[in-house]
Amino acid sequence: MGHRRFGGFATSTLIAGAILWSFATTDVELSRLVSAGPRIADFLGRMFPPDPTVMAEIRKGSAETLRIAILGSLGAVILSIPLAILASETMVSRMVFGPVRALLAFIRAVPLILVAMLMVGAVGLGPLPGIIAVAFHATGMLAKFYAEAIDGVSRAPIAALESAGAGPLVRLRHAIWPQMAPVIARDTIFRFELNLRESLILGIVGAGGIGFYIQTYVRSFQYDKAASVTIAVVVMVMAIEAINVALRRRFT
């Protein structure tokens, strides 16, 4: 008990120290924020009323963003299935799942924007680099979630099949999959929502989607058009989130 109390005190002290250090070493002046008020008000004033003449661009950009999220998510699911099996300690030995988990950690550590920029340089502008970037980046998280779902199932059905001489794939199909299917559905839906949100900003680096129009209008000081696109983005995100909530309730 004493060891736990000491550990909790040490953790709290470390967190408090990190917060105090951040405040002390960051150039944060409230006066600068107050003086920025008129400029922020001027910026917002230029955005209203929103310009409705950009509906064609909004429809095109929204459809492209949705395609990037869907195809990127599909690619991530396809890549994550074999990687999850190789990253599961239930399915393979430590010599296999250790390096695979390290690979997945590396993938998660690479920023999405960096991957998108590399893909734009490699394959050019358009939705393709966005699809590749989303699929690559999402694989690091999805494969980890899938592997954890495999390792979190009850061992009794697996042991019964092992005693009968069943191989790894048979154990996965008949003992593991029925238990992990709801978790897989929940995590996949959650990741799709994240992919959609991330796809919205990929246009900033030329990887397609509605973010391209936001960047274009802001850089050309057409703030009323940027406001229209921003409203469309908010509506799209809210609609997708509502659909995802309904799907998660359906599968869990």
Quick one: pLDDT at residue 46? 73
- At residue 112, does pLDDT exceed 90? no
Count H helices and E strands in the chain, helices first.
Answer: 12, 0
- At residue 104, does pLDDT exceed 90? yes
pLDDT band at 234 (very low <50, low <70, confident <90, very high): confident
- At residue 45, does pLDDT exceed 80? no
- What is the mean predicted confidence (pLDDT) over 65-81? 91
- At residue 1, does pLDDT exceed 90? no
Model confidence over 150-175: pLDDT tens digits? Answer: 888 777 777 777 777 777 777 777 77
Exposure string (b/e) for 170-205, b if CB count within 10 Å is 16 or more?
ebbeebbeeebeebbebbbbbbbbbbbbbbbbbbbb
Q: Which two tokens stand for residue 2?
A: 């004493």
- At residue 180, does pLDDT exceed 60? yes
Amino acid at 146: Y
pLDDT band at 135 (very low <50, low <70, confident <90, very high): very high
Quick one: pLDDT at residue 181? 80
- At residue 178, does pLDDT exceed 70? yes
Most confident of 81-85, 111-115, 241-245: 81-85
- Helix axes of 112-123 and 127-151: crossing angle, nearest 10 degrees: 140
Cβ atoms of 200 and 209 closer than 8 Å: yes
Quick one: pLDDT at residue 7? 64
Cβ atoms of 146 and 211 closer than 8 Å: no
Burial class (CB in 10 A: 0-12, 13-18, 19+), 45: exposed
Percent of the chain with pLDDT over 90: 14
Quick one: pLDDT at residue 80? 93
- At residue 2, does pLDDT exceed 60? no
Higher-pLDDT residue of 29, 178: 178
Torsion angle of C-alpha atoms 90, 91, 96, 99, degrees rounded to 10 = -60
- What is the mean predicted confidence (pLDDT) over 51-68? 84
- At residue 233, does pLDDT exceed 80? yes
Cβ atoms of 203 and 214 closer than 8 Å: yes
d(CA 186, CA 149): 11
Quick one: pLDDT at residue 106? 92
Quick one: pLDDT at residue 30? 65
- At residue 20, does pLDDT exceed 90? no
- What is the mean predicted confidence (pLDDT) over 76-94? 88
Note the pTM of the prediction, 2 decimals. Answer: 0.75
Quick one: pLDDT at residue 6? 61
- What is the mean predicted confidence (pLDDT) over 191-210? 79
